[in-house]
Structure 1
């Protein structure tokens, strides 16, 4: 019996490396892995549904559930996670010395709906006294002009979101003082070049570790989606893919702890792994609904509170039951 050919678009992560190399093969599936930058994958999948399976922004996926007939279903698989305190940048000339100083300021963000921004706004509101509607948001490309929201938004009137002027970039406007801060995933090029551009949280590593110790939240950025039409024709692929992603993740864990010869170009990798385990514990990147329930519930709450999701989705509603329930021999 021939295997089912499926295309899979995802960035070049260590946790999917075994899938790309064929060391892990999903049962019954011939997976054609395409290593594409995340923004290209998201754009092509959201606008044109080009791939059978793909990495997807968690926020964008949740927004597709607002549609009468959502185009995707999701697996409880999380190829990207990141603490986001470290990617909030401020112009020191705007008088921002602590998070509360953001109130009333002009904040740039590539897209209001992007997952990093949802986490950043939620954390600033919940923990640092910066309500979501207390700043004005300006959207556009970080280094290239012309970026727009991938999904149309219908925000409450209390939240002000305005595209930056044509030809402008967030990095350029932050450096010039036309923006007071930027909430982003990446680093603006003006950081390190302009001395007045700095992190909001200069000691972000300590802040992020303290945040995890209080909340046990390692923020999820991306999930994996299957086109709904593919799942309806072949419902078994959900479990097969989930098992394969779990197997690939286990091999990535093993690579980090391999000691005879370093597989990653970090000379003190062992110490970094030890420090990470001391803070986050074993299995800190594990997939699955139950282990990540508290993270998903917090994100779903933020998305709804920020005017994005039309209701507060439960984790069970976000992910396929056939891939989410536990199975043991």
Structure 2
């Protein structure tokens, strides 16, 4: 979607959209959340090598699929702002290119053929962000992820947004009624889902999470400046309710 504009409508990770917006890609955000989740269970370490927690990350090697993956951005933001972790004192290791080709990854690239979990099991990295595993040797960096998620929500009253809906600018400009109908259908689908599966729809409902992920992405130098929420939308998509 970002590199080839192959679709009129797409689900997209919010951080990928922020970086695409920073590089003026012809995409427009709909005020529709596709997925959101607390990421605390998706930070792992190898318990065979001793107990490890957020405070132990300084000076260590930590792997992520890409610096720009949304779950990793949320986790790094939480580590920095809620646990005082200095992200600049971590040796970041990545395995994939960012979705936006123009963005230059500053991390160390893992050797070809390695997987993020195998690197953790073999001691090549000390922790990984954005992953889950059934291997009993791998334990969550947050000792009780459920309690950590609940405490974070009590503090911030934000549910992290992961994926959103976007439309190509050409489709947006040529078929505004289709954009409105697309949003209506997505919203109606959400309304018909189970309550626990409902995601925030509308600019105001999404605003707290968008403001926070924009701040995290700016802090982590993934985007060049801190956008306002309104800048992520068009006049048309701002008007959708």
Aligning the two structures, in what range does the TM-score lie when normalised by the shorter sequence? over 0.9
Asked if residue 181 in structure 1 is aligned to residue 127 in structure 2, the reply is yes
Q: Which residue of 2 aligns with 1:298?
A: 212
Q: Which residue of 2 aligns with 1:62?
A: 18
Distance change in 2, residues 1:192/1:222 (3 Å): closer
Distance change in 2, residues 1:326/1:53 (3 Å): closer
Asked if residue 148 in structure 1 is aligned to residue 97 in structure 2, the reply is yes
Do the aligned partners of 1:96 and 1:102 also contact (CA within 8 Å) in 2? no
Shift of 1:196: 3.3
CA deviation profile, 1:42-67 (whole Å, cap 9, x unmatched):
xxx12222111000010011111122
Output the CA distance in 2 between the equivalents of 1:87 and 1:224.
23
Shift of 1:211: 0.9
Local SS of the residue matching 2:18: helix
Do the aligned partners of 2:190 and 2:198 also contact (CA within 8 Å) in 1? no
What stretches of structure 2 of length at least 5 have no aligned partner? none
Do the aligned partners of 2:54 and 2:83 also contact (CA within 8 Å) in 1? yes
Q: Which residue of 1 aligns with 2:180?
A: 239
Do the aligned partners of 2:45 and 2:52 also contact (CA within 8 Å) in 1? no
Asked if residue 122 in structure 1 is aligned to residue 68 in structure 2, the reply is no
Asked if residue 100 in structure 1 is aligned to residue 46 in structure 2, the reply is no
Q: Which residue of 1 aligns with 2:32?
A: 77
CA deviation profile, 1:70-92 (whole Å, cap 9, x unmatched):
22111010101010011000123
Aligned-pair Cα RMSD in Å: 1.9
Distance change in 2, residues 1:101/1:239 (3 Å): same
TM-score (norm 1): 0.69
Q: Which residue of 1 aligns with 2:66?
A: 111
Shift of 1:126: 0.2
Aligned residues: 240
Q: Which residue of 2 aligns with 1:199?
A: 140
Output the CA distance in 1 between the equivalents of 2:84 and 2:181.
44
Shift of 1:161: 0.5
Output the CA distance in 2 between the equivalents of 1:300 and 1:154.
18
Local SS of the residue matching 2:32: strand
Q: Which residue of 1 aligns with 2:109?
A: 163
Q: Which residue of 2 aligns with 1:285?
A: 199
Shift of 1:326: 6.0
Local SS of the residue matching 2:204: coil
Q: Which residue of 2 aligns with 1:222?
A: 163
Do the aligned partners of 1:95 and 1:101 also contact (CA within 8 Å) in 2? no
Asked if residue 52 in structure 1 is aligned to residue 8 in structure 2, the reply is yes
Distance change in 2, residues 1:133/1:94 (3 Å): farther
Output the CA distance in 1 between the equivalents of 2:229 and 2:10.
20
Local SS of the residue matching 1:314: coil
Q: Which residue of 1 aligns with 2:44?
A: 89
TM-score (norm 2): 0.92
Output the CA distance in 2 between the equivalents of 1:106 and 1:287.
38
CA deviation profile, 1:88-117 (whole Å, cap 9, x unmatched):
001235555321111111000001101111
Structure with more contact order per residue of length (Cα contacts < 8 Å, sep ≥ 6): 2
Shift of 1:249: 0.6
